[in-house]
Chain A
Amino acid sequence: MGKLKLKLTFDKDCVTRPIIYELVKKYDVMTNILNANIEYGNRGNMILEIKGKDENLKLALEYFKDLRVKYEIYAEAIIWDEKRCISCGSCTAVCPTQALTMGKDDLLHFDKDKCVVCQLCINACPIRIISVEL
C-alpha cells in the first residue's frame, strides 16, 4: 500500500469528467479530497490524497497523463521551521487532523503522516514559520 498527495490542475475539457469516480472504479484507490476549487466549464485544481497498491497508484498517474491533467506530487507536506518555533500553539487551533499538537513537554509536535496539507496552519502561525513545499 502506498499513499500520494497530489495537486491536480484541470483545463476546461476535463472539468466535466467524473475523474474521482473513474479513479476509484478503475484503479481501486481510496481518495480523499483535501481541497478543491473547480468551476464547471472552466479551469480547476484539487489537492487529492490517494491510497492504494503501488502499481495502481502508478496507473492512476498514467491516467492523469492521458487525460492531460497536470499533477504535482507533494514531496513533503508542510515545512515547519522547528528552530524558530516558540511553541505557542496557535496553529493547533485550526489543524483539522491533529497533525500539529502540543506535546507533554509543552513543545509543538508535528506528525507528517497526519498532515493533509490543508494549509490552515500557515496563516494561523503568528511567527510565520510554517510554509508549504509545492
Chain B
Amino acid sequence: MRSIAQINEKIKKGKAVVVTAEEVIDIVKEKGYKEAYETIDVVTTGTFGPMCSSGVFINFGHSNPPIRMQSIMLNDVPAYGGLAAVDTYIGATEVSQKRGMEYGGGHLIEDLIAGKDIKLHALSNGTDCYPRKEILTTINKDNINQAYMYNPRNAYQNYPAATNSTNKTIYTYMGTLLPNYGNITYSTSGELSPLLNDPYLRTIGVGTRIFLGGGIGYVAWQGTQHKVEVERSANGVPVVNAATLAVIGDIKQMSTKYVRGAVFDRYGVTLFVGIGVPIPILDEEMLKFVSVKNSEIYTKLVDKSGNVNIDKKFNYAELRSGTVKFNGKNVHTAPLSSLYVARNIALTLKDWINRGDFELTEKVTGLPFENKVNSLEIREIK
C-alpha cells in the first residue's frame, strides 16, 4: 500500500515515477504487475473530445454608470442573463444569431482563451441602482474579472459507437453517419481515457486536481447523467456510457491547443475539451486497472437513426484498426476524439508532476456509486 501523501513527498523530492496510461501497458508486460506496482507511483491519462455540456462563467466588472445586464450577447452569441448584474454563463452549444451554427459558444470560448477581443452587447430595463439600459463594448480575458470553465458533464467513462441503419445519411453529434451501416464512429481515448483507468472511481472524486484545457482544474462534482450501475466487462470496465465528471478551472490558464470550438454538420456547435487525470497507484489493484488495454475495453453499438441499441460490442483495438466486421461486411470506422492530443495531455501532465509543479490530491468525497438515471416522461399538467 502506498498513500497519496507518500506519493506527494516523492513528487516534492523529484523522485516519483510517473508514466502514462499507454506506457504502463508495456511496463506491465515486461515486469509483471507486482514489480510494476513497486516501481510506478502515478499514471497519467488524457482525453480530447467533443464535450457539449461545457461552458464558462464570466464576471465583466462594472461600468460607470453601472448596468444590470438582462439580455447579453457576446459576438452575437446569447449568454445567460439570469444571474447577478454583470455575471453570465456562456454555454458551448449556443449559436450565433448572425452566423448560425458556424459560430457559437464553443468558438467564443476558444476566442476568449486565445485573448481575442470580443464584442459585448447587453440590454437592461434599468433600475434605480443600475440606471444604464444598454452597453456596447469589447472585452477580453485580461480586462474581465473571473472567467472560469464549469462543465456540467465531461470525460464520459466510455461511450457507445454509432451507426445508421436507414437508407439516408444522418447528421449527428457522433458525426456524419452514412446510409445502410456505411460507417461506424466512436469517441474515446480508450486505454488513455481518465475514467476507463479507474473504473470504480477509487481515486477520482470531488476535489481531485486535474489537467483542464491546458491549466489546472478540479473535479467539482459528479457530472450530469452520471451512471454507475451499468453492464461491465469482467475487468470492471463499463461497456456503455457510465460515470461522468463536472469539472472546473480558470480559463486564464488555458490554451487553445486544448480547448477548441467545433461544429458537427447540421447538428450544432460543441467544444473539444482536453482533460487529464493523474491516477495514484495506491496498490496492485490500481495498477491492474490502469494497465487496461484497448483490446480489453468494449463498447456497444447504437443505431443513431432511432437511438436503438444493437446487440453488438466492439473493443477499441478493433475500432482503432479502421475496419470492423459487421453484418458480414467490412465497415469503415472513424474516431471523433483526438488520440494524438489526448496523448499529448497525458505526457504534459506527466511532465508537470515530474517537475514538481503538480501534486496529487485526496478526494474530498467520492462520487456516488449507487444511482439510477431518470428519463423525462410526458406527464399531464394539472
Contact = CB atoms under 8 A, between A and B. Distances in A.
A105 B340 contact: yes
A107 B260 CA distance: 17
A128 B336 CA distance: 14
Contacts of B175: 90, 93-94, 124
Interface string A96-110: 000001100111000
> What size tier do the contact residues of chain A reach?
10 to 19
A120 B185 CA distance: 16
Interface stretch (B229-237, B264-272, B294-302): B264-272
A116 to B, nearest CB: 16
A93 B264 contact: no
A87 interface: yes
B85 interface: no
B338 A86 contact: yes
Contacts, number: 72
B262 A126 contact: yes
B332 A101 contact: no
B176 A93 contact: yes
Contacts of B262: 126-127
A92 interface: yes
A123 B264 CA distance: 8
A106 B177 CA distance: 22
B185 A93 contact: yes
Contact of A86 (B102, B260, B332): B260
Interface string A116-134: 0000100110111000000
Given A93-B185, A106-B343, A127 B260 contact: yes
Nearest to A126: B262
Contact of B340 (A87, A92, A94, A101): A87
B335 interface: yes
A89 B265 contact: no
A105 B320 CA distance: 12
A88 interface: yes
A89 B335 contact: yes
A87 B266 CA distance: 21
Given A89-B334, A93-B176, A102-B335, A124 B265 contact: yes
Contacts of A101: 322
Interface of A: 86-90, 92-94, 101-102, 105-107, 120, 123-124, 126-128
Q: Which 5 pairs from chain A and chain B are nearest by CB?
A: A93-B334, A126-B262, A89-B335, A123-B265, A92-B334
